[in-house]
Structure 1
């Protein structure tokens, strides 16, 4: 069995707790988890789930990334992804400078198509390709939109900002993701597009979901529905409304509000019946299957692992579903299996997630913590598990 490194979430929690001059008992009294679990997480005997980390981060008043250790710089350099972040950051800062006379842009049609391709690459989890092409797309679209403003160009620019957000989140650069969302709002206002604005509120809500600020996340979902009310009832607006309900369901699950979870899932299910598979709308993957996946994710967040696994076994993601969504589902399933002691099944789910979306899985803190839990639980670590642990940098 390999020796686990000492640089893990538990040790970072211990360090931040001590900096806050709190004992384990005092910190445990501030979070909705037991002293025993906190003790086990700090010493590395139990993995730190996302909900646990969010609760501790909120209690200690630090960012979640301080505890997770994101971004995982060593792996990012190994994958040649770290060098792609600064150009994205610089491109995001061009938004209010007007047209750049030194920039030659593609045609409007080509730029709009390029923005859509970038969204597709992220959903296919081709993060390196998307991150490499993104700065030029943002730069060209910024100049094009200033030179000849149009709704379509502002929408495309908002889309590239959304892609910047998605890439930043997946790679663990949450400060950059917040900047990208601000830029998305700036472009959406110029496009006068309530659907894009509502999608942005949905993404903002997920930021607060990760940070454990559930009341703010819920308010952002309400704001998204309010903004969406300015749009006509179309397949697009119904799809965005459904996705807002799905976001609300996992936020409610973290807040342990089972009634709200059931209400939002029911609303999303009703909308999914009306629009069918709407995965082509804003690349949201919305539809009946995604509703089922969120119902399972909500059970995971509420730590109802038996229910989550029963639901997971009924879900058969279609080949047409975005790879990023399928991989996220597999990581959620792996967590449930690990928590229930089904170690072989959990490893199988993680291997499937890696095979489908290697870049996403490698940088997913939930996958990393589940691997840590499996290694600790194994008397004799299988070669495949040891390989997974080494691959994520443990």
Structure 2
């Protein structure tokens, strides 16, 4: 265990040296011979198998998708650049990115990292989602699709604390059990299931927060914050970023009305995720600082230790997105000191903090820094236990796929995507970096394999 005072020392790292003007220049390929990766999660997937919503087989590897066709990110950037009357060189200067890299992204020769996309979005005064074109497959979604529950959740978010209820109020214990089930769906990346359950839970929690005596309301506000927290995660993963922003504000506001400093800290931790997507990296690190200060108000207990560790992991990714390698590695080192047995099973506050999650982030950080060789070298020694949350192990394979692509090994990049699909299909199908990796593989492979074609079709990408 580490004492509570360590949090203040820990997060002062976040305030130092965040250089947002650091140039995004990743125009280097570094292929080399590396040790063979050890796969203990089932190895490489049958490339022709179709895996559906929960991993089940589907005819032809296709899921129930709409006919919307997302544009490759490089093409979309070129379109927006021309609409804004910018040349490639002019945009590269305004965005502070490499001119050579911009040219390669536009022609599909290199994948666009999220930090690159965020820099371009700022320079063009557009939203990140104007470039990624999220949410994918949301319009004309069939009742069986993962997106089908989003309109009902949108309505519940709009109603807020004045919900329309046509059923008797649900018992608080029943609501607590429902939120616990949603927490498990979050761990397993079953976001469609969470989205379908959340509207009723949110409405009844708001009703309970009004009906109970004032002295009994703080625990309900904490439970309401947790429900909104899961809404943020599911909406974020399904690509509904504006709705995720709204749920994020509700999660923070509800936590502030409770009595649990860790719940408030975790709401700030989730807020940092939204800022991460929007490219507001210094603001994200400030949110981590606020969360760290809140953990000092909590008792010294395993949950406090896990929340602090999760803060460091998110700070590591934020720092990597700014190009600050030293700061990112410092946060990884601090997180490592906070690991302890039993954290994976406990899943404190749905942070999923554990030693395997630190290993996952050790691979993710160099990927964010566009250093594929370091990423795949680190991955060679990673063996994720079977108990690792699918939401984390799935993301590991997504990051590793990006690492292999940066390293120049397209075959392993696709193999990693198949593993991500097997473990966390909903996460994989809607992840913008998965779409970008697939588009880059397809754009640079004149003889696309059946495996790539099937995977692209499963994601809703058709050449």
TM tier, smaller: over 0.9
> Does 1:311 pair with 2:378?
yes
Gaps of 5+ in 1: none
Q: Secondary structure at the match of 2:350?
A: coil
| Alignment partner, residue 87 of structure 1 | 152
Conservation of the 8 A alpha-carbon contact between 2:372 and 2:405: no
> Does 1:267 pair with 2:334?
yes
Gaps of 5+ in 2: 1-68
Q: Which moved more, 1:40-49 or 1:252-261?
A: 40-49
Deviation digits for residues 66-120 of structure 1, max 9, x if unmatched? Answer: 00010113588155233311211221234332x7674413321111011011121
In the alignment, the residues of structure 2 paired with residue 355 and residue 386 of structure 1 have an alpha-carbon distance, to the nearest angstrom, of: 17
Aligned pair partner of 1:210 in 255, 274, 277: 277
> Does 1:36 pair with 2:103?
no
| Alignment partner, residue 294 of structure 2 | 227
Instruction: Kindly report which structure 2 residues correspond to 1:154-193, keeping only aligned pairs within 5 A, or say none.
Output: 154-193=221-260
Q: Which moved more, 1:317-326 or 1:87-96?
A: 87-96
In the alignment, the residues of structure 1 paired with residue 386 and residue 342 of structure 2 have an alpha-carbon distance, to the nearest angstrom, of: 19
* Higher-RCO chain (CA-CA 8 Å, sequence separation at least 6): 2
> Does 1:288 pair with 2:352?
no
In the alignment, the residues of structure 1 paired with residue 291 and residue 368 of structure 2 have an alpha-carbon distance, to the nearest angstrom, of: 23
In the alignment, the residues of structure 2 paired with residue 77 and residue 236 of structure 1 have an alpha-carbon distance, to the nearest angstrom, of: 39
Change (3 A) 1:273 1:356: closer
Aligned pair partner of 2:325 in 228, 241, 258: 258
How far has the Cα of 1:318 moved from its partner?
A: 1.6
In the alignment, the residues of structure 2 paired with residue 65 and residue 343 of structure 1 have an alpha-carbon distance, to the nearest angstrom, of: 27
| Alignment partner, residue 375 of structure 1 | 442
Deviation digits for residues 175-221 of structure 1, max 9, x if unmatched? Answer: 10111011111211221221111111111112222222211111111
Change (3 A) 1:257 1:45: closer
In the alignment, the residues of structure 1 paired with residue 197 and residue 98 of structure 2 have an alpha-carbon distance, to the nearest angstrom, of: 46
In the alignment, the residues of structure 2 paired with residue 392 and residue 198 of structure 1 have an alpha-carbon distance, to the nearest angstrom, of: 35
Aligned residue-pair number: 389
| Alignment partner, residue 301 of structure 1 | 368
RMSD: 2.0
- Report the structure, 1 or 2, having the larger helix content: 1
> Does 1:333 pair with 2:400?
yes
In the alignment, the residues of structure 1 paired with residue 140 and residue 175 of structure 2 have an alpha-carbon distance, to the nearest angstrom, of: 28
In the superposition, the TM-score normalised over structure 2's length comes to 0.80
Instruction: Kindly report which structure 2 residues correspond to 1:85-164, keeping only aligned pairs within 5 A, or say none.
Output: 85-97=150-162, 102-148=166-212, 149-164=216-231
